[in-house]
Amino acid sequence: MAGVTGRLVRGWCLRAVRSSLQVPAQLHMSKTAMGASQKDFESAVNQMKLLKKDPGNEVKLKLYAHYKQATEGPCNTPKPGVFDLINKAKWDAWNALGNLPKETARQNYVDLVSGLSSSSDSSSQVKPEADRKQAGYETLVMTSEDGITKIMLNRPTKMNALTTQMYQEIMLALEAASKDDSTITVLTGNGSYFSSGNDLTNFVISPDELEERARRGAILLRDFVGCFIDFPKPLVAVVNGPAVGISVTILRLFDLVYASDRATFHTPFSHLGQTPEACSSYTFPSLMGPAKAAEMLIFGKKLTAAEACARGLVTEVFPDSTFQKEVWTRLKAYSKLPRNALRISKQMIRNHEKEKLHAINAEESRILQERWQSDECMNAIMNFLSRKAKL
Interacting residues with ligand LGGBLMCM (CB under 6 A): 158-159, 161, 196-201, 217, 220-221, 244-246, 268, 272, 277, 384, 390-391
Nearest approach, Cβ of residue 297 and ligand LGGBLMCM (Å): 11
* Closer of 234 and 268 to ligand LGGBLMCM (Cβ): 268
* Closer of 27 and 200 to ligand LGGBLMCM (Cβ): 200
Nearest approach, Cβ of residue 224 and ligand LGGBLMCM (Å): 6
Residues contacting 103, CB < 8 A, separation 6+: 32, 34, 35, 36
Q: Are 168 and 24 within 8 A, CB to CB?
A: no
Closest C-alpha to 169, from 13, 274, 370: 13
* Closer of 352 and 390 to ligand LGGBLMCM (Cβ): 390
* Closer of 243 and 309 to ligand LGGBLMCM (Cβ): 243
* Closer of 144 and 160 to ligand LGGBLMCM (Cβ): 160
* Closer of 67 and 269 to ligand LGGBLMCM (Cβ): 269
Nearest approach, Cβ of residue 372 and ligand LGGBLMCM (Å): 8
Nearest approach, Cβ of residue 272 and ligand LGGBLMCM (Å): 6
Nearest approach, Cβ of residue 232 and ligand LGGBLMCM (Å): 23
Nearest approach, Cβ of residue 185 and ligand LGGBLMCM (Å): 21
Nearest approach, Cβ of residue 277 and ligand LGGBLMCM (Å): 5
In the complex, residue closest to ligand LGGBLMCM by CB: 245
* Closer of 53 and 158 to ligand LGGBLMCM (Cβ): 158
Nearest approach, Cβ of residue 199 and ligand LGGBLMCM (Å): 4
CA distance 325 to 318: 10
* Closer of 200 and 367 to ligand LGGBLMCM (Cβ): 200
